[in-house]
Amino acid sequence: MKNEKGFTLIEMMISTSLVLLVMLGIFVMIDFHVELSKNQNARARLQQESRFFLSNFASDLKNAGSVITLAHTGGFLAAPPDFNGIYPLNNTDYADGIIVADADPNAVTQLTQEYTGGGVLLVKSTVVPYPGVAWNTDDKGIVISPTGYYVFSVTSVDTNSIAIRSTPVYYSGMLNVTQTTSGRTVDYNDDSVPTGDTVTYPVNAPVMRISNFSIYLVDEAYNWKLQRDIRSLIKITDANGDSSGNFLAADSQAVKGIIAENIWDFQVSYFCYPNFPDVSIKNTYFTASSSGLVDDLLTDIQSRFLKEVRVAIVALTEEYSGKDKRAEQIPAIGDRDAYMLPLGKYDYRLFTMSIEPRNFNIFF
């Protein structure tokens, strides 16, 4: 027994070092694959979100203004309507917002009596000569005047009347909110027009069933896990009578949902050819600083000058392969100059798309 030999101290140190090296190598490989998996999942999620947003928003934009932009509206209203299905809600220092709507060409009627409020619209007819397209309970509709519009929800229908919910889906002027986030004051408003609930809607004002009504707004909140601000694109389909206009508030009764969680910037512009067939392009960004934008947009769409709507989206991934935070600079997009994104662990992607809106002509 005395002649038996064990490991020397040097041999133990060498073997321990080898084991530590092997364990370190395994740890590095695991860490690498975890980071790789995070990045792949983040990129896949970003791609899925972006595809969903682009397809959803593209569909809304493509139909925006359809029917609501009536070729002969001015004839019986004696003035162009205030709303044509596209309305910008913007701030040059923040991501853009937009209201879009389109109506059903087979469910269009007119007021037979002035409407100034209350639960019933008296109309020419709620029955249309197409199977399955007459007005029904739970439909959404819009009544338009030269100075405002009112979006309603139907509670019951008679041949010459539409009973509506007491709380509006939306009315012009409802969205007027100042939101302070991360030291930034954000104004989303459409109060340049009279509030739709106090407008007198004249006889023969158009009443149209809405196929889609959506308000897209960007919400911002600090995420403690990611240790940076994140922005989500919110789609509101019913303001539900929330006259505060702050549909992003936690206690708001507005019907809303998150369309994309990683949107950082959202820029919209429209292109038209006002002197067609002259190919000189007019390009206007949906910005609060664009003088007369709404009036110009109304005219350009009604006159069939509008060629396409262009959208630029900056989306952020959740992580990147690296331990330290870093800052990214995004190029100039829309009406925004190039600027630095907040410090964080992420990459960004810039997506752009062009949509050619469709339009219908309605004759009364």
pLDDT single digits (tens) 71-108: 456 566 777 777 878 888 766 556 678 899 988 888 88
Q: In 3D, which of 321, 331, 318, 310 has the Cα closest to residue 261?
A: 318
Q: Quickly state the pLDDT bin for 327 (edges 50, 70, 90).
A: confident
Q: Among 86-95, 143-152, 160-169, 262-271, which range has the highest average pLDDT?
A: 160-169
What pTM was computed for the model? Answer: 0.82
Q: Angle 111-115-118 (CA atoms, 0-180°, nearest 5)? A: 125
Strand-pairing partners, residue 101, are: 213
Q: Which domain holds residue 60?
A: 35-355
110 located within any domain: yes
What is the predicted pLDDT for the residue at 359? 67
Residue 164 domain flag: yes
Note whether residue 312 is domain-resident: yes
**Total number of domains constituting the chain:** 1
Q: Are 267 and 336 in contact (CB under 8 A)?
A: yes
- Flag the least confident range among 153-162, 232-241, 272-281, 355-364: 355-364
- Of the candidates 162, 256, 244, the one whose C-alpha atom is nearest the C-alpha of residue 151 is 162
> What is the distance between the alpha carbons of residues 78 and 62, in angstroms, rounded to a whole number?
28
Burial of 214 (0-12, 13-18, 19+ CB in 10 A): buried
Please check whether residue 215 lies inside any domain of the structure.
Answer: yes
Give which of 94, 158, 163 is closest to 126, Cα–Cα: 158
* In a domain? residue 243: yes
Q: Is residue 28 part of a domain?
A: no
Distance CA 164, CA 142 (A): 11
Q: Is residue 7 part of a domain?
A: no
Around Cβ 340, how many Cβ atoms within 10 Å? 9
Identify whether 23 is part of a domain.
Answer: no
